[in-house]
């Protein structure tokens, strides 16, 4: 009795499977016999851009030529000969650089060397005489940490009174600050002050 139920169920499954396959094949034949036409409309009218002003020329894009995107970032690297440090600044693309090629950028910024050029990032380098003016020394003054900036004449000038009390620092840090801790770069200075806070 059980074997009859199993055979009957198997027969019903095979029957419905055959019907499904037949329906699928019929549908494929119908689709292949249907002619699908693709049409393209060509307009003789002038192409305009809502963002351009009347009378402005529309620039034709050359897909193979890299141009500065309006969202591009300029990475400005200055290498200082005296101290050997490099500073980086990140700027959005100036208006006079947008849609310009690498050759055109070289003409605009003649004093700069273009290190790399993509549509979204332009890295420019320039060698500068002198020091980067990002040399600092931390000292203990009246029980708090004071940051001095070292100028081009190697003179220390007060840059910031931090308000960080030295009495709460470990003994080794107190001794280092009394002797003066020299730091190069604003990022390094900020990290060190965060550690002391």
d(CA 27, CA 15): 19
Q: Identify the pLDDT of residue 147.
A: 92
Domain check: are 144 and 183 in the same one? yes
CA distance to 66, 161, 177, per residue, from 168 (Å) = 56, 16, 13
- Residue 25 within any structural domain of the chain: no
**Same domain flag for 139 and 192:** yes
* C-alpha distance from residue 102 to each of 114, 117, 188 (Å): 8, 7, 34
Residues of the domain holding 147: 135-196
pTM, whole model, 2 decimals? 0.48
Predicted local distance difference test score (pLDDT) of residue 125: 93
Q: Flag whether pLDDT at 124 surpasses 90.
A: yes
- Taking the CA atoms of the chain, what radius of gyration do you get in angstroms? 36
Asked if residue 140 belongs to a domain, the reply is yes
d(CA 120, CA 183): 33
Residues 90-115: pLDDT tens digits? 999 888 889 999 999 899 899 999 99
SS3 109: coil
Residue 185 has pLDDT above 50, yes or no: yes
Q: What pLDDT is attached to residue 32?
A: 54
- Average pLDDT of the chain is 79
Confidence of residue 36 (pLDDT cuts 50, 70, 90): very low
On whether both 140 and 122 belong to a single domain, the answer is no
pLDDT, greater one: 175 or 151: 175
Residue 158 has pLDDT above 70, yes or no: yes
For residues 98 and 124, state if they share a domain: yes
- Number of structural domains found in the chain: 2
Confidence at 28, pLDDT banded by 50, 70, 90: low
Q: Nearest 10 degrees: CA dihedral of 103, 104, 110, 115?
A: -50
Kindly state whether residues 100 and 141 are assigned to the same domain.
no
Listed in sequence order, the residues at least 6 apart from 94 whose beta carbon sits closer than 8 Å to its beta carbon are 74
Residue 21: per-residue pLDDT: 82
For residues 124 and 139, membership in a common domain is answered with no
Residue 84 in any domain: the answer is yes
Strand order of the sheet with strand 144-150? Answer: 156-165, 144-150, 135-141, 181-184
Asked if the structure places residue 153 within a domain, the reply is yes
Averaged pLDDT for residues 118-141: 88
Question: Of the residues 89, 105, 128, which one is the last residue of a structural domain?
Answer: 128
Which whole number is the average pLDDT over 63-82? 86
Q: Residue 79: inside a domain, yes or no?
A: yes
């Amino acid at each position: 009795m059980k074997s009859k139920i199993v055979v009957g169920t198997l027969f019903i499954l095979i029957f419905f499977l055959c019907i499904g396959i037949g329906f699928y094949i019929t549908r494929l034949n119908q689709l292949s016999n249907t002619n699908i036409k693709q049409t393209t409309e060509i307009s003789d009218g002038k192409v305009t851009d809502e963002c351009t002003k009347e009378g402005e020329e529309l620039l034709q894009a050359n897909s193979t030529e890299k141009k500065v995107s309006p969202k591009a970032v300029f990475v400005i690297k200055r290498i200082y000969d005296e101290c050997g440090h490099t500073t980086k600044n990140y700027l959005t693309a100036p208006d006079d650089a947008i849609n310009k090629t690498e050759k055109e950028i070289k003409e605009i910024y003649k004093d700069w060397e273009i290190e790399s050029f993509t549509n979204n990032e332009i890295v420019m380098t320039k060698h500068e005489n002198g020091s980067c003016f990002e040399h600092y020394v931390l000292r203990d003054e009246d029980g708090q940490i004071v940051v001095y900036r070292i100028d081009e004449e190697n003179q220390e000038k007060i840059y910031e009174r931090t308000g960080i009390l030295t009495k709460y620092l470990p003994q080794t840090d107190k001794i280092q600050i009394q002797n003066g801790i020299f730091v190069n770069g604003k990022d390094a200075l900020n990290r060190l002050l965060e550690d002391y806070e």
